[in-house]
């Protein structure tokens, strides 16, 4: 978590004027900016979405546009638009100010002395990639015989037009053009250190201080920039061009595609091609910052997952504006959780070959785990999507969308082909493999639907399939506990909390038991306990934060809805143990014990803050201006401890 005072932040960037910082903060649309990272929907006067900092299935992240602040209940952090960017992107305060200003077209004013030239490595890598994308694009458009040949390849062989090349900033680097490219980068002031780790060059180890001796891995290829959700170029992929990409005799140019190596700003497993354009469909006009011809998507609008970057571009060109692609490796949970921030549904359009079918089966359990409603699309005649859409254009999109089937139907047909009769052993083997996929989901409703579909497709009795699945899950859970060294059956953590200061449980755990067993207490606690009092490092603290967030936004449906907020096996096990941990029905007992828990929580928070104040006071000189405010806060903490917050029940429970 980033925790800096405004004076500290300003001292770190003395060359940006205070007036400019205030103007940028007031003019920047914090909802539109954060909407680039996660889909936000209105919730009263605020906006709500999934946390951009953690992997969660239940929205606990809020933005208040009137105050210009955000707060994340999952992580317990909040602040203004600059704080968000510093926490999310690990940028300095100055880089964050400049990044926000650039996003909204606001001019940054500097004190005398000019722009602060100190850049973090991360910030420099972003600038290197932006410059490189522009350089490659210029070479693609260059009025030369070679440039013309590359453009003909793009238009005639690949079937794209000049407008699409402009939209996706398609580029090119001539054979033997690496030296001139490296010199152009050096002339822009980029350091050799940053260029060496940018993932753009090879041969950096032999002469680390001489970029002009390096070779770009994208030389003599069609270059496609890869951007993140903030539309910043973070990497490149490059395709071999027949007749232009030379055979160097060393096999370096044999691969059809080459990609940037991983860097501080580019991780293949968490990046999706075209996410920068596709997610804008879900953000609507506000995120785009301008009127858009595209209707705003909803949580039910699907992303369309395709195999490669050019497939995604083809889909975009034909009207499938939510198409995204991986980075040549298997799709990961991080990538799907990124999609989950904007939509609840994913349509998968993979090649019909064996590799595509296997990829689909690998994708299914990951999608189920992340809570995505997965469907599969196919191309008529089993053709390649790019080839089919090139021939049929936008008309081919309707045919593809008409092929949509649910993931479970796809899986069931794969293992139980229509018209084929399997032996008992084959049936059991297929069922166990499917059970493993279905078990990845934590939703009981979804699991039940899957098993019903499976039973129909396999011609089996539904109740028998459900019982068989239950045995499979139980056996798997026992095996995992045994492997981890746990006992087969865990003892309950709490049978009752009749003593409020019991050393066996924390204040957060006791308060969570109240929230899960006495709905009338929950809103009182939510309106009494400040968010920063809860320890987000603990399971109980995280769950209380989510419950209180739901209460404060008027969306809490009672303890029976707790399963909608559970995201991990740890949380599910924890709640299962404490769900019925309180057995008192007396209003007097509930109020007394709740207030004892509040007192314990208050004491823990005040003690934690007091230790931090003491630590800071030890580092200050006796005449430091900050000393007085710290002493006053210490006195205030003593007053809070003497009179901790209390709740009062007005009627019996």
pLDDT for 4 beyond 50: no
| Half-sphere exposure at residue 573, Cβ-oriented, CA atoms within 13 angstroms | 10
pLDDT for 64 beyond 60: yes
Beta carbons of 227 and 235 less than 8 angstroms apart: no
Q: Tell me the pLDDT tens digit for each residue of 303-319.
A: 999 988 999 999 999 99
pLDDT for 285 beyond 70: no
Q: Would you give the DSSP letter of residue 188? A: T
Percent of the chain having pLDDT more than 90? 34
Beta carbons of 140 and 196 less than 8 angstroms apart: no
Q: Tell me the pLDDT tens digit for each residue of 601-615.
A: 888 888 888 888 888
Beta partners for residue 624, in sequence order: none
What is the predicted pLDDT for the residue at 500?
37
Tokens at 67, concatenated: 């105050």
pLDDT for 249 beyond 70: no
Q: Do the strands 233-240 and 221-227 form a parallel or antiparallel pair, or are they unpaired? A: antiparallel
Interval 241-267 mean pLDDT: 82
Q: Tell me the pLDDT tens digit for each residue of 341-371.
A: 889 899 999 776 667 778 888 999 999 999 8
**Nearest to 515, CA basis, from 49, 507, 568:** 507
What is the predicted pLDDT for the residue at 449?
92
Beta carbons of 189 and 115 less than 8 angstroms apart: no
Helix (H, G, I), strand (E, B) or coil at 11: helix
Q: Tell me the pLDDT tens digit for each residue of 173-193.
A: 999 999 999 999 999 999 999
Distance between CA atoms of 626 and 410, rounded to whole angstroms?
65
Interval 229-258 mean pLDDT: 84
Task: Give, in degrees to the nearest 5, the angle at Cα 404 between 409 and 384.
Answer: 110
Distance between CA atoms of 423 and 442, rounded to whole angstroms?
31
3-state SS, 572-621, equals HHHHHHHCCCCCCCCHHHHHHHHHHHHHHHHHHHHHHHHHHHHHHHHCCC
- Contacts of residue 363, defined as CB under 8 A and 6 or more positions apart, other chains included, come to 305, 331, 348, 374
Q: Tell me the pLDDT tens digit for each residue of 126-148.
A: 999 999 999 999 999 999 999 99
What is the predicted pLDDT for the residue at 252?
59
Distance between CA atoms of 222 and 151, rounded to whole angstroms?
9
Beta carbons of 121 and 28 less than 8 angstroms apart: no
What is the predicted pLDDT for the residue at 451?
94
Q: Tell me the pLDDT tens digit for each residue of 620-637.
A: 887 788 888 888 888 888
What is the predicted pLDDT for the residue at 484?
57
Distance between CA atoms of 632 and 638, rounded to whole angstroms?
10
Q: Would you give the DSSP letter of residue 171? A: E
**Nearest to 282, CA basis, from 338, 349, 225:** 338
Beta carbons of 37 and 88 less than 8 angstroms apart: yes
503 band by pLDDT with thresholds 50, 70 and 90: very low
Distance between CA atoms of 573 and 569, rounded to whole angstroms?
6
What is the predicted pLDDT for the residue at 423?
86
| 559 vs 252, residue with greater confidence | 559
Tell me what the pLDDT averaged over the chain comes to: 82
Distance between CA atoms of 146 and 132, rounded to whole angstroms?
19
Q: Tell me the pLDDT tens digit for each residue of 444-471.
A: 889 999 999 999 988 899 999 999 999 9
518 band by pLDDT with thresholds 50, 70 and 90: confident
Q: Tell me the pLDDT tens digit for each residue of 388-434.
A: 999 998 889 999 999 999 999 999 999 998 878 888 889 999 999 99
Tokens at 146, concatenated: 């070679």
Beta partners for residue 230, in sequence order: none
- Contacts of residue 152, defined as CB under 8 A and 6 or more positions apart, other chains included, come to none
**Nearest to 529, CA basis, from 513, 550, 548, 547:** 548
pLDDT for 290 beyond 50: no
493 band by pLDDT with thresholds 50, 70 and 90: very low
Helix (H, G, I), strand (E, B) or coil at 330: coil
| 237 vs 576, residue with greater confidence | 237
Q: Do the strands 221-227 and 171-172 form a parallel or antiparallel pair, or are they unpaired? A: antiparallel
Task: Give, in degrees to the nearest 5, the angle at Cα 439 between 438 and 441.
Answer: 80
């Amino acid at each position: 978590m980033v925790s800096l005072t405004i004076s500290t932040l300003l001292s770190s960037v003395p060359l940006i004027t205070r007036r400019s910082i205030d103007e940028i903060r007031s003019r920047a649309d914090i909802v539109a900016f954060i909407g680039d990272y996660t889909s936000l929907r209105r919730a009263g006067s605020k906006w709500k979405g999934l946390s951009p900092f953690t992997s969660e299935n239940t929205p606990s992240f809020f933005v208040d546009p009137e105050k210009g602040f955000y707060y994340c209940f999952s992580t317990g952090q909040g602040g203004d638009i600059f704080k968000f960017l510093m926490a999310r992107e690990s940028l300095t305060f100055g880089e964050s100010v400049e990044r926000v200003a650039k996003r909204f077209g606001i001019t940054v004013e500097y004190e005398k002395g000019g722009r602060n030239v100190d850049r973090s490595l991360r910030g420099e890598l972003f600038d290197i990639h932006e410059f490189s994308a522009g350089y490659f694009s210029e070479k693609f458009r260059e009025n030369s015989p070679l440039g013309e040949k590359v453009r003909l390849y793009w238009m005639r062989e690949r079937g794209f037009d000049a407008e699409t090349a402009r939209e996706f900033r398609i580029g090119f680097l001539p054979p033997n053009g690496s030296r001139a490219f490296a010199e152009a980068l050096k002339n822009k002031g980029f350091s050799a250190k940053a260029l060496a780790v940018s993932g753009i060059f090879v041969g950096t180890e032999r002469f680390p201080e001489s970029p002009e001796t390096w070779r770009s891995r994208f030389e003599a290829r069609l270059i496609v920039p890869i951007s993140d959700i903030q539309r910043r170029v973070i990497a490149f992929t490059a395709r071999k061009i027949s007749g232009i990409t030379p055979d160097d005799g060393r096999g370096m140019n044999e691969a059809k595609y080459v990609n940037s190596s991983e860097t501080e700003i580019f991780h293949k497993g968490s990046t999706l091609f075209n996410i920068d354009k596709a997610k804008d469909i879900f953000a609507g006009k506000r995120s785009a910052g301008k009127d858009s011809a595209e209707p705003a998507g909803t949580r039910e609008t699907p992303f369309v997952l395709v195999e490669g970057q050019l497939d995604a571009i083809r889909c975009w060109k034909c009207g499938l504006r939510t198409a995204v692609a991986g980075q040549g490796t298997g799709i990961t949970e991080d990538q799907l959780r990124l999609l989950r921030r904007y939509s609840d549904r994913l349509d998968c359009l993979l090649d019909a070959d064996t590799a595509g079918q296997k990829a689909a089966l690998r994708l299914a359990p990951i999608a189920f785990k992340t809570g995505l409603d997965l469907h599969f699309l196919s191309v008529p005649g089993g053709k390649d999507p790019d080839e089919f859409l090139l021939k049929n254009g936008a008309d081919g999109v309707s045919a593809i969308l008409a092929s949509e089937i649910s993931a479970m139907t796809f899986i069931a047909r794969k293992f139980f082909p229509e018209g084929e009769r399997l032996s008992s052993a084959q049936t059991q083997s297929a069922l166990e493999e499917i059970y493993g996929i279905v078990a990845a989901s934590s939703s009981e409703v979804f699991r039940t639907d899957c098993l019903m579909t499976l039973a129909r497709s396999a011609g089996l009795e539904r109740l028998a399939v459900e019982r068989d699945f239950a045995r499979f899950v139980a056996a798997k859970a026992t095996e995992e506990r045994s492997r981890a060294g746990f006992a087969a059956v865990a003892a309950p953590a709490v049978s009752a909390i009749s003593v409020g200061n019991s050393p066996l449980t924390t204040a957060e755990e006791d308060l969570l038991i109240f929230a899960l067993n006495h709905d009338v207490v929950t809103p009182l606690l939510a309106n009494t306990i400040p968010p920063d009092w809860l320890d987000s490092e603990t399971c109980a603290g995280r769950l209380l934060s989510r419950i209180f967030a739901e209460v404060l936004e008027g969306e809490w449906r009672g303890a029976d809805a707790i399963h909608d907020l559970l995201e991990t096996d740890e949380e599910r096990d924890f709640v299962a143990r404490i769900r019925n941990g309180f057995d008192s029905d007396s209003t007097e007992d509930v109020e007394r014990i709740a207030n004892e828990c509040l007192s314990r929580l208050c004491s823990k928070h005040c003690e934690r803050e007091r230790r931090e104040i003491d630590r800071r006071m030890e580092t200050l000189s006796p005449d430091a201006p900050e000393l007085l405010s710290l002493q006053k806060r210490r006195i205030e903490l003593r007053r809070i401890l003497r009179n901790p917050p209390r709740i009062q029940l007005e009627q019996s429970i």
